[in-house]
Copies of this chain bind each other. A is one copy, B any other.
Amino acid sequence: MCDELTGGGEFDFIERLRRRELARVTKAKHSSLTTHHSSLIRGIGDDAAVFRQRAGFDTVITADMLVEGVDFRLEAGWSSPRDLGHKALAVSLSDVAAMGARARFCLMSVGVPRALWRGGFADEFYRGVRALAARHDVRVIGGDTSRTPDAVVVDSIVLGEVRRGRALTRGGARPGDQIFVTGALGGAAAGLKVLERAGVGNRRPGSRRGVSASAPTVSLTRAERGLVRRQTRPLPRVEWGALLCERGLASALIDLSDGLSSDLAHVCRESGVGARVEASLLPLDPLLAASGVNAEEALKLALDGGEDFELLFTAGPRKASRLPREVEGVPVTRVGEVTGERGKVRLVGGGRARLLRPGGFEHFGRA
């Protein structure tokens, strides 16, 4: 709750955030942007925020909790507070994009141990939030701050808007639809492995002693640093999500937070269908090969790795032909098709088909 951070620091902080937001709102009033959005009536600084939905639109809302030592680490060489702010918002922006909605507002709740708060953690954290929010025209309208005993905890809440009745769910895939993914796969999970190998992953969260001594002892290649960035600063596919919905091109849509094998299984379950994925079509992150990851490991990371925050969607053949090749530099790749084999996801490669289970292979056999 709001007032657990003593010494006025928390209040001052909220007040600073609010002034910045007010400055932004005032500026926006003089631009043409305001009328195109659900509008903010009251932001930070009262018991709650107030907004007005745009006529003809629905509101989409998601909350994602990230916990130090479970979802991220703050030791030197791992995530900076600014990275964490970026990632917390990115995860929720991705969920909103995965409904085909455009993100508009964000509330960010953070629990921080006292020592970190005093060290300026919150300012850096919100810097990360605000930089990504500004890029996607999202306003920070609330949240809460609390002290925690040990670990940093973040709950990221994002609200978006989507044309009435047009939200894209996981439940619309039909046999014969093609399956697509945006961007490239496997990079985020590989980045996590790079960090673990570099030896910064084995300390207890909340312990601040010797933080600087825990910087990676292994020096990283350029490609490895790129992979780490995929893990610590993922880029949600905001424009792809909105475009798929606005042009009515996707039958089902989900974001790849758990990994393709798990998330495609969600789509199949919700849609009452099956799927066939061709291993050779999967867009492996080029940084995987560049950092020496072998083909088998790369495939595994692409299927089961998670946290890529790419979008996976299905589209009927006619609509598939109308897909743009890329949006803002992010390509889309066909990776397979929807089948009537309810609940079964098959991975095809090297003339064989394997049953793909969430998080891993199982049960091999001829195609």
User: In this assembly, does A296 line the interface, its C-beta being within 8 Å of a C-beta of chain B?
Assistant: no
Interface size class on chain A is: 35 or more
Contact B146 A65 (CB under 8 A): yes
| Minimal beta-carbon separation of A198 from chain B (angstroms) | 21
| Alpha-carbon distance A53/B164, docked complex (angstroms) | 10
User: In this assembly, does A308 line the interface, its C-beta being within 8 Å of a C-beta of chain B?
Assistant: no
User: In this assembly, does A258 line the interface, its C-beta being within 8 Å of a C-beta of chain B?
Assistant: yes
Contact A1 B169 (CB under 8 A): no
Chain B residue with Cβ nearest A66 = B1
Contact of A151 among B50, B58, B150 (CB under 8 A): B150
Contact of A64 among B49, B55, B71, B144 (CB under 8 A): B144
Contact of A142 among B62, B101, B146, B206 (CB under 8 A): B62
Interface flags, A153-177, vs B, CB<8A=1, else 0:
1010111101011010111000000
Contact of A170 among B46, B69, B206 (CB under 8 A): B46
User: In this assembly, does A16 line the interface, its C-beta being within 8 Å of a C-beta of chain B?
Assistant: no
Contact of A254 among B47, B49, B94, B160 (CB under 8 A): B47
User: Known: A146-B67, A165-B41. Is A255-B47 also a contact (CB below 8 A)?
Assistant: yes
User: Known: A145-B65, A167-B41. Is A58-B47 also a contact (CB below 8 A)?
Assistant: no
**Contacts A/B (CB < 8 Å), 19 sampled:** A1-B64, A1-B65, A2-B64, A3-B262, A42-B167, A46-B99, A46-B170, A46-B270, A48-B62, A48-B99, A52-B58, A59-B59, A61-B141, A63-B144, A65-B146, A69-B149, A109-B155, A155-B155, A155-B157
Which 7 interchain pairs have the tightest Cβ spacing?
A: A155-B155, A48-B62, A47-B98, A53-B53, A65-B144, A65-B109, A47-B95
